[in-house]
């Protein structure tokens, strides 16, 4: 293949450092990286912002890995704000012009922001996921579970707090607080410096009217699925999974300047967990949003800081949507051997602007001997190579903000190309932005040498990477080297790929319902009980299985924004709205996590994960063997999750089953229960229940006194019974009784 040599210029960061050229023009001090070929300190988006002089005094939301005290001191001394730190990662705001002061320090290892946009992931639901039995407290459960005493945190587009499903029987709000990132009408919650916080007093008194659900009711619907009470109509048919949970809502800004949403999501996680910790309540967070770019391995600083928040203490869990582009080829993987050449096309989507974005990732061992080139093919009349850049290895891109130009054979410009390469731990990342001069070109990413790399390209429409139909080799011989994109690895967001996060895929819920205008809505494409084709799937970039579990999504009816009634989307009562996708399936799982926390208040994230995954339903529809990258461990079974776990196998539970002796047994009028190790429990928190063979409670009492032997006189008929002893609703002892 013949390559045309193109004009190229770059800012070499190593040279800048060695010459100590420090200038008020941001790109001239680009940037205090470590030496050439070593790990860089700054992400590509920071480098771009530093190269744009008009950004130099603008605050940037950053994650900084290193000595937290040094980071804090530099931040506060240079017009920034220090928000919080988890382990050795700090979340800060700092003027972009001051980033070099951090980067030049040896005890600062990495600084990241992100340039990706946030995307939302948008009755029978309880039946399909076996929730009703858990809410009703069917045997062997001792009571119904509805999330009481648990906080449900929702990071989304807000909440219509006027909806009856988010009020109690007295008409007071169930919402503890709302943090709206879009508003400046009131005070931000410390230690944050943006947005407005409304507490329950403000909500109840009418002082929170400035807050609205700002994305077509997405957040209201998601909150209703997780924790709506169903109170808006008498039969409560559309109640959520945890209808008695308390609610904290964070309304993120979907269009943040400089796209600082990744930082704002981590801030929201910190905010909710801190609130819950103050109230000493367990907390589940649901995030039904994400971006389809990133490392897809949770090793970035945002992924690490969110993991650190989840694992900081017991009583925390986090649930996320897998994404809704499962059938779209966002990803391609190139594997080349010596002598091989392979390529994949990307193309411009005019509707979403003039640029093409591509994100390349590879393990260092797989990319050191690999080279990548970029070319333009004319596809308007036949197929022909019009211009190209030469093959270059990682060293050309590493720590350099490159600006190249692709020229055609006649010398005309075809496209400008900006790129930047980073070494991040044991991974390389190269990001490309292509500015085409015409939409008639397909741009080919070509690889040669020896190695492997993954590439994602999306541009907010799923067909940026060119798939089918492609020309055959007779039409265009170069196609013998073409690598088709695939539908693997289209999970959203890096943190969604974390082992500490429960990532949820989507099954179909139902096809029809009666609308607000009286007509019947029917969507025959819904795959009821089956996996929806739109449900994103893994694996992660480093080969781990995702999603973890599936739950029902479309069509699900849940709380609607009452000021936006849409006769076609709202149900017959005009109080509930349909939605679907993994945005809807994730809060179903979040609701079950809340039920588990009600039963086991001191459980940790791993307990919740094990209870849900270890009791998943694998029916004839689920593709086996499980786990796999489509179904995870199978379908959610809420009742099985609650009944299939006990305190004895929960690592976070502080309750252990204790030995009990009953005598006489069989008994006539009374019996004595002897409890060993009774001093481990507060006696007035121990309750004894007796149920019959049908699971009906026939006798209950509180065990009082200081003795380990207590006489019980139940007024029950002759027969076989079962007794349980609970402490704060956790099972601590059980056994069988026979009444003569």
- Which residues of the chain form CATH 2.60.40.10? 660-739
pLDDT above 60 for 171: yes
Can you give 488-511 as a three-state secondary structure string?
A: CCCCCCCHHHCCCCEEEEEEECCC
Tell the residue number behind the tokens 């700002």, with chain if given: 214
- Which residues of the chain form CATH 3.30.70.80? 10-112
| Per-residue pLDDT tens over the stretch 49-61 | 777 656 667 788 8
**If you average pLDDT over every residue of the chain, what do you get?**
83
pLDDT above 80 for 332: yes
The rounded distance, in Å, linking the Cα atoms of 612 and 619 is 16
Average pLDDT score over residue span 237-244: 93
| Per-residue pLDDT tens over the stretch 346-376 | 887 654 567 888 889 999 999 999 999 999 9
Q: Name the band, by pLDDT with cuts 50, 70 and 90, for residue 708.
A: low
What pLDDT score was predicted for residue 707?
58
What pLDDT score was predicted for residue 701?
86
Residues 6+ apart with CB under 8 A from 385: 1, 375, 376, 377, 378, 478
pLDDT above 50 for 36: no
Q: Which CATH class is domain 10-112?
A: alpha beta
Q: What is the DSSP letter of 585?
A: H
pLDDT above 70 for 35: no
What pLDDT score was predicted for residue 14?
32
Tell me the β-bridge partners of 156.
Answer: 251
Fold of 331-481: Jelly Rolls (2.60.120)
Q: Of the ranges 37-41, 391-395, 502-506, which one carries the lowest mean pLDDT score?
A: 37-41
The rounded distance, in Å, linking the Cα atoms of 394 and 254 is 34
Q: Contact 208/197 with Cβ under 8 angstroms?
A: no
| Per-residue pLDDT tens over the stretch 73-82 | 999 999 898 9
What pLDDT score was predicted for residue 289?
82
What pLDDT score was predicted for residue 7?
31
pLDDT above 70 for 41: yes
Can you give 237-304 as a three-state secondary structure string?
A: CCCCCCCCCEEEEEECCCCCHHHCHHHHHHHHHHHHHHHHHHCCCCEEEEECEECCCCCCCCCCHHHH
What pLDDT score was predicted for residue 253?
85
CA–CA distance from 512 to each of 106, 245, 520 (Å)?
61, 29, 7
pLDDT above 50 for 220: yes
**Percentage of residues of the chain with pLDDT beyond 90:** 39
| Per-residue pLDDT tens over the stretch 562-573 | 988 887 788 888
What pLDDT score was predicted for residue 251?
94
Q: What is the DSSP letter of 163?
A: S
Residues 6+ apart with CB under 8 A from 69: none
Q: Which CATH class is domain 660-739?
A: mainly beta
Residues 6+ apart with CB under 8 A from 206: none
By C-alpha distance, which of 265, 272, 268, 158 is closest to 220?
Answer: 158
Q: Name the band, by pLDDT with cuts 50, 70 and 90, for residue 505.
A: very high
| Per-residue pLDDT tens over the stretch 580-609 | 889 999 999 999 999 999 999 889 999 999
What pLDDT score was predicted for residue 589?
97
Encoded tokens for 35? 């030496």
pLDDT above 60 for 672: yes
pLDDT above 50 for 2: no
pLDDT above 70 for 25: no
What pLDDT score was predicted for residue 666?
87
323 versus 681: which is more confidently predicted?
Answer: 323
Residue burial 253-264, b: 16+ Cβ < 10 Å; e: rest: bbebebbbbbbb
Evaluated on CA atoms 69, 72, 75, 78, the torsion sign reads negative
| Per-residue pLDDT tens over the stretch 434-471 | 999 888 888 989 999 999 999 988 764 545 666 667 88
pLDDT above 60 for 24: no
Q: Which CATH class is domain 119-325+491-647?
A: alpha beta
Q: Is 518 exposed, middle or buried (0-12, 13-18, 19+ CB in 10 A)?
A: exposed
Q: Contact 172/262 with Cβ under 8 angstroms?
A: no
- Which residues of the chain form CATH 3.40.50.200? 119-325+491-647
Q: Name the band, by pLDDT with cuts 50, 70 and 90, for residue 697.
A: confident
**DSSP three-state, residue 334:** strand
pLDDT above 90 for 404: yes
By C-alpha distance, which of 642, 592, 650 is closest to 615?
Answer: 642
- Which residues of the chain form CATH 2.60.120.1290? 331-481
What pLDDT score was predicted for residue 533?
86
Encoded tokens for 7? 């004009």
What pLDDT score was predicted for residue 351?
45
The rounded distance, in Å, linking the Cα atoms of 64 and 60 is 12
Q: Name the band, by pLDDT with cuts 50, 70 and 90, for residue 110.
A: confident
Phi, psi of 701 (to 5 degrees): -155, 155
User: What would you report as the CA-atom Rg of the chain, rounded to the nearest whole angstrom?
Assistant: 29
The rounded distance, in Å, linking the Cα atoms of 470 and 479 is 8
What pLDDT score was predicted for residue 34?
37
End-to-end CA distance of the chain: give it in Å, rounded.
93
Q: How many residues does the chain have?
A: 740
Q: Name the band, by pLDDT with cuts 50, 70 and 90, for residue 5.
A: very low
Q: Name the band, by pLDDT with cuts 50, 70 and 90, for residue 260.
A: low
Q: Contact 387/375 with Cβ under 8 angstroms?
A: yes
| Per-residue pLDDT tens over the stretch 533-543 | 889 998 998 88
């Amino acid at each position: 293949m013949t390559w045309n040599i193109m004009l190229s210029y770059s800012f070499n960061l190593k040279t800048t450092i060695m010459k100590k050229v420090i200038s008020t023009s941001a790109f001239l001090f680009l940037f205090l990286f470590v030496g050439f070929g070593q790990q860089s300190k700054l992400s590509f988006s920071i480098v771009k912002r530093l190269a744009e002089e008009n950004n130099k005094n603008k605050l940037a939301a950053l994650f900084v890995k290193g000595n937290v005290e040094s980071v804090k001191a530099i931040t506060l001394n240079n017009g920034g704000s220090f928000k919080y730190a988890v382990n050795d990662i700090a979340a800060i705001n700092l003027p972009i012009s001051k980033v070099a002061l951090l980067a030049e320090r040896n005890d600062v290892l990495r600084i990241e922001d992100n340039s990706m946009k946030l995307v939302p992931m948008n009755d029978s639901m309880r039946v399909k996921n076996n929730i009703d039995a858990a809410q009703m407290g069917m045997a062997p459960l001792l009571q119904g579970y509805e999330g009481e005493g648990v906080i449900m945190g929702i990071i989304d587009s807000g909440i219509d707090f006027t909806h009856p499903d988010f009020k109690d029987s007295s008409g007071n709000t169930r919402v503890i607080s709302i943090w709206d990132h879009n508003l400046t009408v009131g005070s931000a919650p410390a230690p944050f410096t943006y947005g407005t916080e409304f507490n329950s007093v403000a909500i109840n008194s009418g002082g929170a009217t400035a807050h609205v659900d700002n994305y077509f009711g997405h957040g209201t619907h998601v909150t209703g699925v997780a924790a709506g009470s169903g109170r808006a109509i008498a039969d409560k048919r559309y109640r959520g999974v945890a209808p008695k949970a308390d609610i904290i809502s964070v309304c993120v800004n979907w269009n943040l300047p400089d796209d600082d949403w990744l930082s704002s999501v981590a801030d929201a996680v910190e905010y909710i967990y801190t609130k819950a910790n103050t109230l000493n309540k367990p907390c589940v967070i649901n995030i039904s949003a994400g971006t389809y770019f990133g490392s897809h391995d949770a090793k970035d600083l945002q992924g690490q800081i969110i993991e650190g928040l989840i694992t900081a203490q017991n009583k925390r869990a986090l649930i996320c949507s897998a994404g809704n582009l499962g059938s779209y080829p966002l990803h391609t993987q190139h594997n080349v051997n010596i002598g091989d050449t392979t390529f994949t096309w990307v193309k411009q989507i005019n509707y979403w602007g003039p640029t093409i974005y591509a994100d390349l990732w590879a393990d260092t061992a797989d990319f050191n001997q690999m080279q990548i080139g970029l070319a333009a093919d004319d596809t308007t009349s036949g197929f022909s190579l019009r211009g190209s850049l030469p093959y270059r290895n990682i060293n050309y891109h590493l720590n350099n903000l490159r600006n190249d130009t692709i020229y055609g054979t006649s010398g005309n410009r075809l496209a400008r190309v900006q790129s930047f390469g980073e070494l991040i731990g044991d991974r390389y990342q190269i990001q490309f932005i292509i500015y085409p001069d015409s939409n008639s070109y397909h741009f080919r990413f070509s690889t040669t040498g020896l190695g492997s790399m993954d590439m994602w390209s999306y541009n907010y429409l799923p067909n940026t990477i060119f798939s089918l139909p492609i020309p055959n080799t007779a039409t265009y011989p170069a196609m013998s080297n073409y690598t088709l994109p695939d539908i693997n690895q289209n999970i959203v967001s890096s943190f969604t790929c974390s082992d500490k996060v429960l990532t949820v895929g989507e099954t179909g819920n139902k096809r029809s319902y009666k609308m607000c205008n009286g007509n019947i809505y029917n969507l025959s494409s819904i795959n009821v009980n089956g996996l929806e084709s739109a449900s994103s799937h893994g694996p992660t970039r480093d080969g781990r299985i995702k999603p973890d579990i599936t739950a029902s999504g479309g069509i699900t009816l849940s709380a609607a924004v009452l000021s936006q009634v849409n006769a076609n989307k709202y149900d017959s009562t005009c109080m509930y709205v349909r939605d679907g996708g993994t945005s809807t399936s994730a809060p179903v799982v979040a609701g079950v996590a809340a039920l588990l926390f009600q039963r086991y208040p001191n459980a940790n994230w791993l307990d919740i994960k094990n209870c849900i995954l270890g009791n998943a339903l694998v029916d004839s529809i689920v593709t086996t063997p499980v786990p796999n990258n489509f179904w995870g461990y199978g379908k959610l079974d809420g009742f099985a999750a609650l009944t299939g776990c006990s305190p004895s196998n929960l690592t976070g539970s502080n309750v252990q089953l204790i030995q009990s002796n009953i005598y006489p047994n069989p008994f006539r009028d009374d019996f004595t229960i002897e409890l060993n190790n009774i001093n481990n429990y507060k006696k007035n928190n121990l309750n004894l229940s007796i149920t019959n063979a049908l699971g009906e409670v026939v006798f209950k009492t509180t065990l009082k006194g200081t003795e380990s032997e207590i006489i019980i006189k139940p007024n029950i008929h002759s027969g076989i019974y079962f007794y349980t002893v609970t402490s704060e609703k956790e099972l601590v002892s059980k056994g069988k009784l026979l009444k003569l």
